[in-house]
């Protein structure tokens, strides 16, 4: 024990130096927004790499559950494909035109597969981190989707990782429409339930019913039209009574996200949300 005290006494000046350096670093990061964001953001390469390793372990453990989800999703996609084939067979116009239009849309909006390496769902304003960044062609305000629907919008880009503003963020506002109509509103999250959001500012003269599908409107170059968002589960008046506020059951369970895709774009001009 005496040896320990002697060692501490001999190296006191170094311990004091380290303590002061630690305090200085803490003050620098706490009171300087830029330095703090560079150090702490989950788009930082070192932090992102650690989170990716951790997520790989979690993904391996949950392989069984993921395989079950993929099987269920394949069944749903097969059912939707069968319905689309039936509808296409009844169309009067040239089906090759439809195929060309779909191909053109895919060329206009190529997608980049990515993995979620960090995901917040318990905060008021939630973000998730993906393992793709500037080096992969990701840019600010690109849309992010999953196999089941909309996920969020890229809000910060690092060289190899990006931060995505989730739909579970009170600052998120995405233009959406009721499928099969021209009635649209803005998808927002009020906090609380992570499985639902609200579609605000829907006009009073709009015609819709419970269970109707909601999709992106395509009024911006962030999301193409027709990306599935969810279904109407509750109808209420807005606070001022001038419009409807619809509760939407989100199609994507943000808490379970592992694989997503970034919708790349060729033109960054005239970006609106």
3-state secondary structure 201-230: EEECCCCCCCCCEEEECCCCCCCCCCCEEE
The verdict on 97 and 133 lying in the same domain is yes
Residues 264 and 105: their CA atoms lie apart, in Å, by 12
Say what the pLDDT of residue 55 is: 74
Would you state the pLDDT for residue 126?
A: 95
Sign of CA dihedral 251, 107, 166, 187: negative
> Within this chain, do residues 132 and 243 fall inside the same structural domain, yes or no?
yes
Q: Are residues 25 and 80 in the same domain?
A: no
Indicate whether 27 and 48 sit together in one domain. no
The CATH number linked to 50 is 2.40.10.340
The answer to whether residue 67 sits within a structural domain is yes
Tokens (6 digits) for 84: 């689309």
In a domain, 225, yes or no: yes
What the block records as the tokens of 20 is: 């002061």
Considering the domain boundaries, does residue 178 fall inside one?
yes
Residues 27 and 155 in one domain: no
141 and 122, same structural domain?
yes
Closest-CA residue to 189 (of 210, 171, 214): 171
Distance between CA atoms of residues 36 and 25, nearest Å: 10
Find out whether 142 and 159 touch, Cβ atoms under 8 Å.
no
**Along the 273 residues of the chain, how does pLDDT read in single tens digits?**
666 666 666 667 676 777 777 776 666 545 555 555 555 555 566 667 777 777 776 666 666 666 666 656 665 665 566 566 555 554 444 444 434 443 444 456 788 999 999 999 999 899 999 999 999 999 999 999 988 889 999 999 999 999 999 999 999 999 999 988 888 899 999 989 999 999 999 998 998 999 999 999 888 888 888 888 999 999 999 888 889 999 999 998 999 888 898 998 755 434 434
Distance between CA atoms of 220 and 68, rounded to whole angstroms?
A: 35
Assess whether 145 and 216 both reside in one domain.
Answer: yes
| Residue at 109 is within a domain | yes
Whether residue 116 sits in one domain with residue 36: no
Rounded distance, CA 51 to CA 69, Å? 23
- For residues 243 and 89, what is the distance between their CA atoms, to the nearest angstrom? 39
Clarify whether residues 88 and 27 are in a common domain: no
pLDDT of residue 111: 85
173 and 196 together in one domain: yes
H or E element that contains 63: helix 63-90
79 shares a domain with 13 = no
Task: Provide the domain count of the chain.
Answer: 2
pTM of the model: 0.65
Assigned domain for 243 exists: yes
Q: Is residue 273 part of a domain?
A: no
Phi-psi region at 145: left, alpha or beta (left = phi > 0; alpha = psi -120 to 50): beta
> Closest Cα partner for 232 from 215, 211, 217, 252?
211
Residue 272 falls within a domain, yes or no? no
- pLDDT at position 109 is 74
Task: Please tell me the predicted confidence (pLDDT) of residue 63.
Answer: 64
pLDDT of residue 182: 85
29 lies in which domain range?
Answer: 2-40
Q: Are 69 and 256 in contact (CB under 8 A)?
A: yes
219 and 166, same structural domain?
yes
């Amino acid at each position: 024990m005496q040896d320990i005290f002697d060692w501490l006494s001999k190296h006191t000046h170094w311990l004091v130096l380290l303590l002061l350096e630690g305090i200085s670093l803490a003050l620098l990061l706490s009171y300087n927004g830029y330095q703090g964001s560079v150090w702490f953001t989950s788009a930082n390469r070192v932090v992102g790499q650690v989170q990716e390793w951790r997520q790989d372990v979690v993904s391996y453990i949950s392989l069984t559950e993921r395989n079950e989800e993929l099987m269920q999703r394949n069944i749903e996609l097969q059912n939707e494909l069968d319905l689309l084939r039936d509808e296409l067979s009844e169309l009067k116009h040239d089906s090759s035109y439809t195929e060309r239009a779909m191909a053109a849309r895919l060329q206009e909006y190529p997608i980049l597969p990515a993995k979620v390496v960090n995901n917040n769902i318990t905060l008021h304003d939630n973000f998730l981190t993906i393992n793709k960044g500037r080096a992969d062609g990701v840019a600010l305000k690109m849309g992010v989707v999953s196999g089941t629907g909309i996920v969020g919008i890229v809000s910060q880009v690092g060289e190899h990782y990006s931060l995505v503003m989730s739909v579970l963020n009170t600052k998120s506002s995405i233009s959406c429409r009721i499928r099969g109509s021209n009635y649209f509103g803005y998808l927002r999250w009020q906090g609380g339930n992570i499985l639902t959001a609200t579609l605000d500012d829907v006009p009073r003269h709009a015609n819709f019913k419970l269970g109707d599908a909601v999709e992106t409107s395509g009024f911006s170059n962030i999301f193409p039209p027709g990306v599935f968002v969810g279904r109407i589960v509750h109808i209420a008046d807005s606070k001022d009574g001038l419009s409807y506020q619809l509760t939407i059951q989100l199609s994507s369970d943000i808490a379970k996200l592992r694989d997503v895709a970034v919708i790349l774009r060729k033109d960054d001009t005239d970006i609106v949300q």
